[in-house]
Structure 1
């Protein structure tokens, strides 16, 4: 009787040797329901790199829709991906989120910082910051989101000037990526951001609700500071996205409590869970096999929230690689949370959500109206295809749109 291999072959790709960065052919394989890239470096030998904790979820991500192209490309390919810098003609997608790192300086010295930022980091000049913003607008036309990042961007001595310049450009939303230390203590900074609350959102580092989590990931007890930053943003009407870095053995049990914490605060517009990046100060090769991947996060959200969100509510963001970004949209009304997939089949209508990341009220209205149109609905007569419409208090498709988006 023939023996079986100890793995299942799923496909092929290209990958890098983590030691010498040589580009290598790789097999995509599964072992014990986990996904790996198997590659052979002529110098450093063979290795299986862990990619995804659930092969069924990995397979589920294998669908997409046609991408949007930027108005112009940055360069012609020379060395090939991933060695060319900038959007070349071989790039498969436009820039969903532009990011400008204003500074390498930071008022924290986090043990897991992949950028190795710290108090001694240097600032980018205002001219260079504005040039980067100009280039984003040039290639995108009207970018949806620009993130001002770092380091800690609010430490840049000309932060206000750079923010005002970004706001003067045809960019829908400006996100300020911040650890929240200044927000908790600096009223003037809060007022600067709140003056533009219709276009400025805070992208706030927020790893959990336990002090031990703050110490493990940020190197010092910061829980009171983080909580104060969240509440002060709410006081001035600033929308916040909480950004949780996940480290196995540290804060994976806080995923559900964080979701519920955010749902209780109307100004918290979203929560981004980001598995720790093993680079910079946080290179821990012995932990690669136990690291958290997206299926772990999604299963934890379902299990730790009592099913407020379930696995089927999540789908890949079409403008990103499906293994890099999965999301769920939801509507909050009178203390209830209703995931968008209770109204729309996300997989069959992925094109309605493609090529962007923000979902404001007008965009939500447009999506629902397009979806109802596909179902053949008209005013007051749509009686099938939209599940849980009673949860927003009306059986009319048209009224469901109004309640979902107002």
Structure 2
């Protein structure tokens, strides 16, 4: 048309994203001005790619989905969302601004999974940490909310959900470093929650018989999301900074022996463990 060449890609949808160059220089908070930039998902070569523009670093592109047809099929499915009870009915601001005043009226879906961070600390020292976790201390609940505070969040969500919560996911940091975790889980199970998922690196499961027995006794309510990156020592050395192959295997064997529902959750790094 008019002698103009077509773009080498097809625009699938517009979005807001972040610049990898900016984040390589310094991690940024979601509520920090300038964190988000305009972007779009595009397709070419049978894949979906994220393209974005930054005033400082220009245009960048990264792989978003390896199979464009699979992505289209997945995003083409939809169902009506459920109504939510906002903290302020007049708050229609978008993300992240709208959430500074609680749940906004513009929130598009109910709480499918309540993700509850129970500590900011961890007993691993991974070279790259998603949570920027701190080292553990001798304090009972080091830098984490109290049981009463956590239950208040759970109860508020249950009330907002009409009296029942589908899934409560316990995360951190590493939640199992809390010595009062079993007490909290016991009280959480007294509430109308269908399933409780425990995100964990597995260290306590591999070593603590009493904790393993607690999980086994409540396998009908609690399941484990186990961090498990692979079987080779080299994989763990690169991703976690130490050889965890034996410890991870022990944790998995103990969970399997006790018939505790377990999902393996991995971090995949190209050239490191993408073949495992």
TM-score (norm 2): 0.82
Report the secondary structure of 2:234's partner residue.
helix
Specify which of 183, 204, 212 is matched with residue 226 of structure 2: 204
Q: CA deviation at 1:30?
A: 2.7
**Equivalent residue, structure 2, for 1:222:** 244
**Equivalent residue, structure 1, for 2:48:** 35
Deviates more, 1:189-198 or 1:13-22: 13-22
**Equivalent residue, structure 1, for 2:205:** 183
Q: Rate the CA distance shift 1:62–1:99 in 2: closer, same or farther, 3 A.
A: closer
**Equivalent residue, structure 2, for 1:128:** 149
Mapped partners of 1:161, 1:70: distance in 2:
33
**Equivalent residue, structure 2, for 1:80:** 94
Q: Rate the CA distance shift 1:228–1:23 in 2: closer, same or farther, 3 A.
A: closer
1:135-284 equivalence runs, <5 A: 135-140=156-161, 141-254=163-276
Q: CA deviation at 1:129?
A: 1.3
Q: Rate the CA distance shift 1:52–1:82 in 2: closer, same or farther, 3 A.
A: farther
Task: Work out whether 1:99 is the aligned partner of 2:120.
Answer: no
Mapped partners of 1:36, 1:12: distance in 2:
11
Q: CA deviation at 1:153?
A: 0.7
The answer for unaligned runs of 5 or more in structure 1 is: 255-406
Q: Rate the CA distance shift 1:236–1:25 in 2: closer, same or farther, 3 A.
A: closer
User: What does the per-residue CA deviation read over 1:122-163, in whole Å, with 9 as the maximum and x for residues that have no partner?
Assistant: 222222211121122122231111111111111113212211
Report the secondary structure of 1:230's partner residue.
helix
Q: Rate the CA distance shift 1:242–1:46 in 2: closer, same or farther, 3 A.
A: same
TM-score (norm 1): 0.57
Task: Work out whether 1:116 is the aligned partner of 2:132.
Answer: yes
Q: Is the 8 A contact 1:9 1:27 kept in 2?
A: no
Q: Rate the CA distance shift 1:129–1:56 in 2: closer, same or farther, 3 A.
A: same
**Equivalent residue, structure 1, for 2:28:** none
Task: Give the total of aligned pairs.
Answer: 253
Q: CA deviation at 1:70?
A: 4.8
Mapped partners of 1:234, 1:127: distance in 2:
33
